[in-house]
Amino acid sequence: MSKIGIVGIRGMVGGTLIERMIKEKDFEESHQYSFFSSSAKNQPGPKINHKQYTFLDAYDLDLMHEMNIILTTQGSDYTKDVYASLRKKGWTGYWIDAASYLRMEKDVIIGLDPINDHVIKEGLARGIKTFVGGNCTVSLLLMGIGNLIKNDWIEWISTMTYQAISGAGAKQIGDLLKQVRAFDIDEQKHPLKLEKEFRQLIKQKTFPLGEIGHPLAFNLLPWIDAKMEDGRTKEEWKGQVELNKIMGLKKILPVDGICVRVPTFRSHAQAVTIKLKKNITIKTIEKEIAGSNSWVKLIPNDVEESKRYLTPLAVSGTLDIAVGRIKQMSMGKDYISLFTVGDQLLWGAAEPLRRMLKIILNIL
């Protein structure tokens, strides 16, 4: 019997994880589960298999120390506070994490098992105990085009993202809704007048910026996370370093782009430009993508199919990784573009963690 501590299920990723685990009947009676919270200790936790849990204190290191596996979706600050102290106390259990804080550490594996199962297995065999889920857009991109990288067909990747507000956490969903509701404008007016009133409204001090800090309703924000020294944002920086680490590439595959927050609720999309190492037909590319894994859905480059199936709304709440708009670019035969969208709370966060937990339980 393993003791499994799960931290942070009140959030977007944690909530999605629990939903998935219940749906897939992951809560086996042969293991003991505990639920921890950093802000709701002693309050009612989830009800699973008729058992009502109470949240335990996520900062109680003695309690945490009793766990064989800790899976946290709480966030980087929590990991920063607790992980090193636990290890210092001699805790040798498995740590599975959604947050980015530990991802680039040497003895940490970024787990995305449909893509890097061999890296995970090799890590487990040599005693690695810390596994972290990848950045959401990176995991989603790899689920779609990982095979093209494995085949060594790619010279570089440029990805322009369209990232949903739920990627920024639970609080910001409500903040976006408040912004949308603030536009209580008479739609009978001339569209030019409406649009002008809309711009005046967002300038008012009373406009609810919330944690987002800027108007995002009917807008977009071309900046996600902190600024790096080279002008990239941290989210953009993660694209290259994490993708290369997950794939275990010896020679760096350049990945860059611009990460953009858009006012969708859920699922991240990316418009991707790929410079191929050689001319490969679109048919071959499509075949390779379609055969990547059972979650990829190849969408024909067709108006109706693209508008119906290649959208955040079409994939939200599903494990589908939609890839479409695949075409050769006018820059030359070695350049292709494509569009891909997947649920960042599922394959971009909760699902790799859930699967990682199962992989570890299988070897214990």
Ligand X SMILES: NC(=O)c1ccc[n+]([C@@H]2O[C@H](COP(=O)([O-])OP(=O)(O)OC[C@H]3O[C@@H](n4cnc5c(N)ncnc54)[C@H](OP(=O)(O)O)[C@@H]3O)[C@@H](O)[C@H]2O)c1
Q: Which span sits near ligand X by CB under 6 A: 164-172, 275-283, 291-299, 334-342?
A: 164-172
Give 10 or 297: the residue with its C-beta nearer to ligand X: 10
Options 69, 145, 349, 356; binder of ligand X; rule CB under 6 A:
349
Give 143 or 274: the residue with its C-beta nearer to ligand X: 143
- Residues 16 and 7: beta-carbon distance below 8 Å: no
- Is 136 designated active site? yes
Judged by CB under 6 A, the chain residues 90 through 119 that form the site for ligand X are 98-100
Catalytic residue among 118, 190, 214, 268: 268
CA-wise closest residue to 94 among 222, 191, 6: 6
- Residue 210 in contact with ligand X, rule: CB under 6 A: no
Catalytic residue among 50, 136, 190, 259: 136
- Is 259 designated active site? no
- Residue 10 in contact with ligand X, rule: CB under 6 A: yes
Give 69 or 298: the residue with its C-beta nearer to ligand X: 69
> Which residue sits closest to ligand X, CB atoms considered?
11
Options 1, 84, 104, 170; binder of ligand X; rule CB under 6 A:
170
Options 167, 257, 312, 342; binder of ligand X; rule CB under 6 A:
167
Options 4, 33, 67, 73; binder of ligand X; rule CB under 6 A:
73
Options 21, 110, 136, 138; binder of ligand X; rule CB under 6 A:
136
Within 10 Å of residue 302's Cβ, how many Cβ atoms? 13
Mention every residue, 6+ apart, whose C-beta is less than 8 A from residue 315.
267, 321, 322, 341, 342, 343
| 268-276, strands of its sheet edge to edge | 255-261, 154-163, 268-276, 332-342, 321-329, 296-298
Residue environment code for 112-131, b if the CB has 16+ CB neighbours within 10 A, otherwise e: bbbbbeebbeebbeeeebbb
- The whole-angstrom separation of Cα 184 and Cα 180 is 8
List the structure tokens of 149: 């990288």
Q: Which span sits near ligand X by CB under 6 A: 7-15, 19-27, 279-287, 327-335?
A: 7-15
Least separation, in Å, of the C-beta of 198 and ligand X? 28
Burial (CB count within 10 angstroms: exposed 0-12, middle 13-18, buried 19+), residue 165: buried
Options 3, 156, 160, 169; binder of ligand X; rule CB under 6 A:
169
- Residue 166 in contact with ligand X, rule: CB under 6 A: yes
- Residue 239 in contact with ligand X, rule: CB under 6 A: no
Give 136 or 360: the residue with its C-beta nearer to ligand X: 136
- Residue 8 in contact with ligand X, rule: CB under 6 A: yes
Least separation, in Å, of the C-beta of 161 and ligand X? 12
Residues that bind ligand X (CB under 6 A): 8, 10-14, 37-40, 58, 73-76, 98-100, 136, 166-167, 169-171, 344-345, 348-349
Give the catalytic positions in this structure: 136, 268
